[in-house]
Amino acid sequence: MVREVRGHGFLLGVEYVDPRDGRSFLPTELGVARRVDLMAMDMGVIVYSTMPTRDGFAGDQTLFAPPFTTPDADLEEMVSRFAGTVRAVMRSVERQLR
């Protein structure tokens, strides 16, 4: 479901795609960006997810912007929790796409 992680320094974006083909946008009715936000918050990570395309209705991505002074141990914990978030949302999305 994760197509690409891109960014520079502490500003990163994670782009999601349909796991059935690895390149198409996910169906908007699944609300993946919102689901990632809510699950991440439950996991103790604050992120900002958007639907970034021009029309505002297709595509999902999550943005990270931790403070530049964040210690490495905290960054590792954030990544670990976020990976758990994405896995949980992906399992749910895959069930709905069947």
**Number of domains the chain is built from:** 1
pLDDT tens for the chain, 98 residues long, are 999 999 998 899 999 999 999 989 898 889 898 999 999 999 999 999 887 665 666 688 999 899 999 999 999 999 999 999 999 999 999 999 98
Instruction: Kindly report the number of other CB atoms within 10 A of residue 23's CB atom.
Output: 8
Residue 97 inside a domain? The answer is no
CA 57 to chain centre: 16
Q: What CATH number is attached to the domain comprising 50?
A: 3.90.1150.10
> Domain range holding 35?
2-92
pTM of the model: 0.85
